[in-house]
Every structure is written in C-alpha cells, then in structure tokens.
C-alpha cells in the first residue's frame, strides 16, 4: 500500500512538472484575441499658459479612470492593442506653496484612443510587458464660453505592466502608462494612467 501511494505521488509530481510548462505556453498563444475592461486612477499634469484659450496655467486634477481594450497576440512575445480610456475631472489653477489653494476653473473631460505595440516576458502564467503607443487625445473643457471648445490632439505613450492568467481564457491585468499630448504653441500635456482590470482571451 505504501509503495502504491508513493507511486501515485511520483506520478502526480511528474504530471505537474510536465503539464506546467505546457499550460504556461498556452497563455496568450499567437492568434488569440484579448478583450478587457478596467478602472484606475488618472494623474493629471499641467496645461501651460498659451497652450489653451485660458490666460493662466492650469492643472488637470487627479481623478477616476475607466478604460477598455482589445488586443491581438501576434507572436509569443509581441502583441498589439487598441485601448480607449476616459476621465471626468476638473481644471484648477496651478497653485504654489506648501499648501496651495486650487480653485476649480471648469470641468474637464480627457479621453484617449491609442494603438500600442507590447513586448511580453513569459514567467509561467505571469506576463510582464513593456510597450509604446500612438493615438489621439480629446481635451474637452466644460466651459460656457463658446470660444473654448474641445480639441483632438496627437498623443504618444510608454507602457509597462503585467497580465496574469487565472485560466487559459481569463486573467487580470495591471497597466501603468505615461503619456504626452501635443498642445498649441509647442507645449505638451503630460499625465500618467494606472489601470487594473479583467480580460477574456479567445482563439488559439
């Protein structure tokens, strides 16, 4: 009996050792499609004087971020995705000092749609990645003045994060993205997104 039990334990250990790498290879297989949704935090930056129709330098306040993405795995390492993100926040005066007062100027909607190329490092079911993206950012101050309107501007981003597969078709993801959006007068609006979410994987 003791020998039979030991044999079963050895067989189970061998099965795990043999199947483990195979299961890891099954995650994010080339040809698979990933669809995800998540939420996180938008960390706003400054809108320099002269970059908008406002006369003062303004700052976009930090606020809640929401996003969705669709990706395609091209090879074991490389994937591409299209991501849409949106934040409803406010523009405030860029205060100075240790405890600055920052009165609200107007509400501010900031949305992006980007195409990104990602390179993944495989660590079993965990896939850390880095990448770069290009896209369009929509800056929409909710101002009553008709001269202050929304505008679509070119944006570039760098990304880093990780995907963890709980199953071949289901996982969670954490993504941090630094972005620079081109403004009028050669200025740039810089912000950081931190997004966490869940995704489904279909296909190969």
pTM, entire model: 0.80
Per-residue pLDDT at 184: 82
The vertex-83 CA angle with 151 and 57, nearest 5°, equals 35
The pLDDT, as a whole number, for residue 148 is 60
State how far the Cα of 79 lies from the Cα of 112, in Å rounded to an integer: 20
DSSP label at residue 19? H
pLDDT at 60: 92
Give the position of tokens 């706003």: 44
- Mean pLDDT in runs of 10 for the chain (204 residues)? 47 39 62 97 88 77 97 96 96 63 80 98 95 96 67 96 95 98 90 98 85
Model pLDDT, residue 98: 46
How many helices (H) does the chain have, and how many strands (E)?
A: 1, 10
Beta bridge partners of 135: 114, 155
User: 17 — alpha (psi -120 to 50), left (phi > 0) or beta?
Assistant: alpha
pLDDT at residue 8 in the model: 52
89, 74 in Cβ contact below 8 A?
no
> 28-202, which class in CATH?
mainly beta
Q: 56 is written with which tokens? A: 């003062």
Per-residue pLDDT at 15: 39
């Amino acid at each position: 009996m003791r020998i039979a039990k030991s044999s079963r334990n050895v067989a189970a250990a061998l099965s795990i050792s043999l199947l483990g790498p195979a299961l890891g290879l099954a995650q994010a297989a080339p040809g698979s499609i990933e669809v995800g949704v998540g939420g996180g935090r938008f960390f706003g930056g400054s809108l320099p004087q002269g970059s908008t129709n406002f006369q003062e330098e303004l700052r976009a306040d930090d606020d809640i971020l929401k996003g969705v993405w669709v990706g395609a795995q091209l090879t074991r390492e490389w994937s591409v995705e299209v991501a849409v993100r949106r934040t409803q926040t406010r523009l405030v005066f860029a205060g100075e000092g240790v405890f600055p007062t920052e009165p609200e100027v107007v509400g501010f909607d900031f949305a992006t749609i980007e195409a990104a190329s990602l390179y993944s490092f495989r660590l079993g079911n965990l896939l850390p990645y880095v990448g770069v993206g290009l896209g369009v950012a929509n800056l929409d101050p909710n101002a009553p003045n008709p001269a202050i309107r929304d505008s679509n501007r070119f944006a570039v981003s760098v990304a880093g994060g990780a995907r963890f597969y709980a199953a071949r078709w289901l996982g969670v993801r954490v993504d941090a993205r630094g972005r620079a959006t081109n403004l009028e007068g050669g200025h740039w609006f810089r912000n950081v997104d931190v997004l966490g979410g869940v995704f489904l994987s279909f296909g190969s």
